[in-house]
A and B are shown apart, each in its own frame.
Chain A
Amino acid sequence: MIDQAIRNAVDQAAPITLDEVLDRVPQPSSAVNQQRAKRRWLPRAAIGLTAAAILMVVGWQRTNPRPDHVETAIGTAASPAAISTPTLADKPSIDRKPGGYISAQARGTTDPLESAQLFLDMQFPAWSSVELTLDETDDRGARVRWVDTDTGVAGWIVLFFADGAYAILDLSTDGFAMDLSRASDGGRGFAQSVEPVVVELYPEVGGRDDSDEIVARFEIPALPQGTDPVAIETPPSALLLRAFLYDEAGTSRGFAFVSIDHLGWAGPLHELIVITALETTDDLDTFVRAHPQLVADHIIRDPWLSADMITRLTTTDDLPVVRVDDVPLHHLTQIALRDSGAEGLDEFMAGLATRGIVLDTLTLPWPYYDEAPLENVARYIVAEIPSPEPCRLLGASGEPNRAGTVDSASTFENPADAAALAPIRRAESDHLWTEFISNDGVVLGYGWHRSGEPRTWLTVVEVEQTADGWRATNWETVNC
């Protein structure tokens, strides 16, 4: 009888007539909007189609991707180096958000202030009465200043214009910055604040994990104590989190929208994004899962992003946009590779290209490790990289040296990255390193040491500059 009860419940809605449907068809948009759409999209569509044609002829060539070390919308992993120390005077750019991007669950209207208000109403209703002022608009979007006149707390809302409406790109509170990366066991990241705050993270409203369950809660000391690592113990399914800031007395001190869509924590060297105009990602998903030796992780970000939004939210300029559409068409998949020099990667990339359009490839300058970033404490001019043998010469007993050749062919823009990211056995913990340079200033390698009980560990890594960038070649480690 359940089937009959369900029919009875669902069919309470009267059938829709064709006339009723046609009555809903909106009138043609205004001449202004049409003109705007044409101005923005016709050139891009032409470029996109040209690029698509080139891609079809040439195919995807891994040897000619974008530069390895690129600051792009999704590529920069969170790290102290990637977070700009927040100040009360920061003014965000109306552009693609570096270090992560936000999919717009809440589309707005053609008015930026109204759109910002709609977004606040949905995601941060407790702050919906803040004063909103339009700071700047341009072809890309708009920047709105929000101010809580009661407390003086203020910040920015950045909107981008896509699919004929404004949508949220970033929301921040002055003096607070946070960047998070996704991990299989939760999330990691760093946060800074000019004043001590307690941060509570919740999933976005209307997203994948539409709940009021708190994701994480942590305290951040005020600068200049430094950047504080933050951790999310349980991986949220949400890609976007709402951050609420409180002072020690529990008074609200601001709010922010935080993306957790990086795949950096597992230590992949590359991220790339792929779109497909297919109406399913099953084939792509199966293909990616069949290559665990190459793929560290992947996320199907939003299966129904429009071409317009993808173009706005990523750094790609070669998306073959053929029309402006209010309705999403594209699946967007973000993939983290284990090693850009791995065997079989060319075939893998060719396989991806047959299943979608590879938008972007980029290197993560600072994949996450469980250790804190390295700190340069010394620089020595040497003829060649010293062996850590002197450690043993001190008379300490210890295990024999371990040494090896770096298998990875990954190259990096700077030598420190090449050493830090080399897949080698290394001395862990304490993150001090020494840079060895030749007398003409060429970097030869780096050394780590860890002082601890009962042993001291030493590791050295040799690097060399190639035509494509810096790579690690040999390593040696010893304890004593």
Chain B
Amino acid sequence: MALPSALSNQPEPSADSPDFAAFFAQSEPMLRRAFVAQFGVDLGREAASEALSYGWSNWSRVGVMANRRGYLFRVGQRWARRQRNRSRRPALGRYEPPQLESSFEPGLGAALDKLSPQQRVSVALVVGFGYSHQQVADMLGLSRSSVQTHTERAMASLKKTLGVIKSKEPRT
């Protein structure tokens, strides 16, 4: 696979770089979606980019890992938490979860905010994009049953919250 010309300007190019391009194509969507679900659109996308960038820089080592995606998820997660922690002031107010608005369901953003980060990521990937419980579990470093539980509880919470919201709206 041909690599972008930008690769030639990067330090210490790896002999395994074609593998990275394949890995990138396969994993970028899932990582991006997971980070966006956890940290919001802006920070989440940055975290995904940062994680993948780390993966490229260290591909000779990361590329041979059994769970490359899960590893890079931790990389991005840690990076995002650092960024988030630097900007937050807990004494001035609690941390505000990321607002994910949906033009399809106005109440979804607030409903997602009520979920724990792992519930948010699980439900987003499993329900929203059809990833398997095992795929999500591998990336999050959880058991498959944990992901299933997170997803089910998240769905129950979403339905409850959105149901309440809908019930207050006049029928058209």
Contact = CB atoms under 8 A, between A and B. Distances in A.
Whether both chains belong to one complex is answered with: yes
B66 A4 contact: no
Contacts of A16: 28, 32, 45, 48-49, 52
A13 B102 contact: no
A12 B101 CA distance: 9
A328 B74 contact: yes
Given A2-B159, A2-B162, A327-B78, A21 B52 contact: yes
Contacts of A1: 104-105
Contacts of A304: 74, 78
A24 B74 contact: no
A97 to B, nearest CB: 21
Given A4-B104, A22-B4, A327-B71, A9 B52 contact: no
Interface stretch (A25-33, A337-345, A379-387, A469-477): A25-33
A13 B57 contact: no
B128 A25 contact: no
B141 A5 contact: no
Contacts, number: 150
Contact of A24 (B28, B29, B32, B49): B49
Contact of B32 (A3, A13, A280): A13
Interface string B86-111: 10111110110000111111001100
Contacts of A14: 45
A10 B129 CA distance: 10
Give the interface residue-count category, chain B.
Answer: 35 or more
Interface residues of A, number: 49
Contact of B33 (A11, A105, A282, A327): A11
Interface string A357-391: 00000000000000000000000000000000000
Interface in A19-68: 19-28
Interface in A66-125: 105-107, 118, 121-123, 125
A303 B143 CA distance: 14
Given A2-B158, A304-B74, 7 more contacts: A9-B102, A13-B33, A13-B36, A20-B49, A107-B82, A126-B91, A304-B78
Interface of A: 1-16, 18-28, 105-107, 118, 121-123, 125-126, 205-206, 210, 212, 279-280, 282, 303-304, 323, 326-328
17 contacts: A2-B158, A7-B128, A8-B104, A9-B128, A10-B100, A11-B36, A16-B45, A16-B48, A16-B52, A18-B6, A22-B6, A22-B56, A23-B6, A26-B57, A118-B86, A121-B86, A303-B141
